[in-house]
Amino acid sequence: MSRGVEHPAELRAQVVAAVALGESLTTVAKRFGVGKATVERWYRLDGPVQPRNARTREEMGALVYDTVAETLRALTVRALITGSEDWVTRQSAADLAALDATAWDRVIRVLAAFRPDDHPGLDAPGASESA
């Protein structure tokens, strides 16, 4: 680990890639024979850029789940209201048909999202080619 020595661009790229793939700064520094501060500086300068408002996969999954759950709750309430005899008798046949078509379309779309994958593992990230 010499100070002030210019390192090959290929080494720098390998170091940045290793950190980007999740290796610790200390492990990368030891493996490539450079200082931890150098690894940190190279990664800060050359590593992947993420917007400040980037969300993790888990955060996005939670937001999607919460949105779907709230939508389903709202649809349930709406179904109770629009299912009452008093409300139905005040609507035209055309309006009821349109409402019914919309409601069933939503039900079918939600259920379709839960169907099992026809080809599990096919083209899945990280799936082995021998599978």
**Tens-digit pLDDT profile for residues 14-45:** 999 999 888 999 999 999 999 999 999 999 99
Do 38 and 29 form a contact (C-beta atoms < 8 A)? yes
Please identify which residue in the block is written with the tokens 């080809």.
Answer: 119
Q: Are 15 and 28 in contact (CB under 8 A)?
A: yes
pTM value? 0.40
In 21-92, alpha helices (H): 25-32, 36-46, 57-82, 85-89
Q: What is the CA radius of gyration of the chain?
A: 27
pLDDT for the residue 29 = 95
